[in-house]
Amino acid sequence: MTPLGWGRRYLMCPPTHFGVLYEINPWMHTEVAVDRDRARSQWEGLVSTLRAAGAEVVVVVPDESVPDMVFTANAGVVNLRGEGPPQFVPSHFRFPERQGETEIFAAWFAAQGFAVDRLRPELAHEGAGDALPFLDTLLSGYRFRSDQPAATELSRLTGAPVRSVELVDPRLYHVDITFCPLDDRRAMCAPMGWDAYGRRVVEALVPEPLWLTDEEALTFCANSVVVGSTVVMPVTPPRVGRQLEAWGFDVVDCDVGEFLKAGGGCRCLTLSLDVDLATATGPVT
């Protein structure tokens, strides 16, 4: 088994302005108050858990106008492109409530020396929340937040083969709530999130899937962060934890309950900065 070649360096955003101030997914209810102090300590807990697992965490300054900016997974798609200048494709958000994040993140990446390559303006795509690398392929989800043709654009811009899966359950509205790459053979997979064709795409892509039951999937357990052999999970259903441990992973629970109120778990709170799609070649599907 070869560990993932990415996931050792993350961009995160402190929850200074985080709250459930609008409802753009079925988990968000504005009448449910977020405890900001608890959110802050949970977020800091995630930072220390990731650092203890051997990851580096860098931080972007939060902006008051965009409370969901804490979910940096949605900033865009990062591609280190081997030795060349690194590339960043900023997200185009489906909902106006998050659209202000695009230029904030684009400016941050430009300042770090990334080439900022844009999707066509009419296409929505919510970044790593809807595009996760598995081997040399990007698995991209579409429907609730991202448009399917954006996957083709991403493939054109990054050079990586992209496989699209249609998301079918509004509770699992981003692909990173349905899919979690673990190493070069394994991934947590929530088939309830995909249509029949999407399930076949994943079956063909992942040699050894850990299939999640519907109940397990709805805990957000696939929204985990994998740092080498450590899996940092927002919730660990017992059967899933046992299987991961049987495969040799260290499973670490990390309570991010305040963020689950906004429909986000551990993965949503991070953006992997060390994804390199340079070695990827192949057809677009």
Q: Which residues bind ligand ARG (CB under 6 A)?
A: 24-25, 28, 68, 71, 73-74, 98, 129, 174, 176-177, 262-264, 268
Q: Which residue is nearest to ligand ARG (CB)?
A: 129
Residue from 13, 92, 174, 189 carrying the catalytic annotation: 174
Our answer to whether residue 174 is catalytic in this structure is yes
Residue 263 C-beta: closest distance to ligand ARG, Å: 5
Cβ closest to ligand ARG, residue 9 vs residue 145: 145
Cβ closest to ligand ARG, residue 42 vs residue 74: 74
Residue 106 C-beta: closest distance to ligand ARG, Å: 18
**Are 189 and 211 contacting, i.e. CB atoms less than 8 angstroms apart?**
yes
Report the chain's C-alpha Rg in angstroms.
Answer: 17
Cβ closest to ligand ARG, residue 47 vs residue 268: 268
CB burial of residue 236 (10 Å; 0-12, 13-18, 19+): buried
**Are 189 and 209 contacting, i.e. CB atoms less than 8 angstroms apart?**
yes
Which of 58, 53, 43, 118 shows the shortest CA–CA distance to 269?
A: 43
Residue from 13, 221, 254, 268 carrying the catalytic annotation: 268
Distance (Å) of CA 48 to CA 35, 51, 167, 170, 274: 20, 5, 32, 31, 19
Cα dihedral 211→229→38→60 (10° resolution) = -110
Cβ closest to ligand ARG, residue 150 vs residue 268: 268
User: DSSP secondary-structure letter at 119?
Assistant: P
| Identity at 45, one-letter amino acid code | G
Residue 272 C-beta: closest distance to ligand ARG, Å: 12
Residue 246 C-beta: closest distance to ligand ARG, Å: 27
Our answer to whether residue 92 is catalytic in this structure is no
Q: Which residues are catalytic?
A: 174, 268
